[in-house]
Structure 1
């Protein structure tokens, strides 16, 4: 297990992570640090625990919004795929009917 140091709101924290995940964890820490600094700027210094709580809640709200939007996009994609499959079926049916008529005309 790897150990890295991250900074949040100007304070260092030692954090463990799986080997190979160091860069990912550093990026997550940068995102959280930006959020905490924004909360601190907007609301003033609240104390570390409350500041981290507010930052976490705002990130959780953003995550929930993104999940909702993703779910809506997935539902729209499923509808579009279903519409496409139905349209494709109609086209195939029309082509088969046209081919039968052409064969019938050719046989006459």
Structure 2
């Protein structure tokens, strides 16, 4: 377990994090600090606790919006996968039908050739 110091709203906090997560925790603290500074610029000095709560609420609001968007995109992706699977099934069925039609046509041509060869008699074979 690592420990690092972060500054949020002008105050130092000693935080624990897993090994290798130090940079991420510092980035999170910087992001929160930036939100607080932005709110301070908009609303002035309205109290440290209130600024911190407002910053946390704006972050939670963005997180909620992002979560909803992710869920919507996951549903859209699932729909697209279903459509793709149906299209693939139709494609396979079409390929089988075309293959069967070509085979049937080839068989008819072969039979027609045999009939013509018999009809012509001892003449030159066509096929």
Runs of 4+ in 1 over 3 A off after TM superposition: none
Structure 2 counterpart of 1:5: 5
Partners of 2:34 and 2:95 in 1: CA distance:
58
**Larger Rg: 1 or 2?**
2
Q: Which runs of 5+ in 2 are unaligned?
A: 109-127
| Count of residue pairs the alignment pairs up | 108
Q: 1:72 — aligned with what?
A: 72
- The alignment's TM-score, normalised by the length of structure 1, stands at 0.92
- How far residue 15 of structure 1 moved from its aligned partner, in angstroms, is 1.1
* 2:13 pairs with 1:40: no
Highest RCO, 1 vs 2 (Cα 8 Å, sep ≥ 6): 1
RMSD of equivalent CA atoms: 1.1
Instruction: Report what 1:95 is aligned to.
Output: 95
> Runs of 5+ in structure 1 lacking a partner?
none
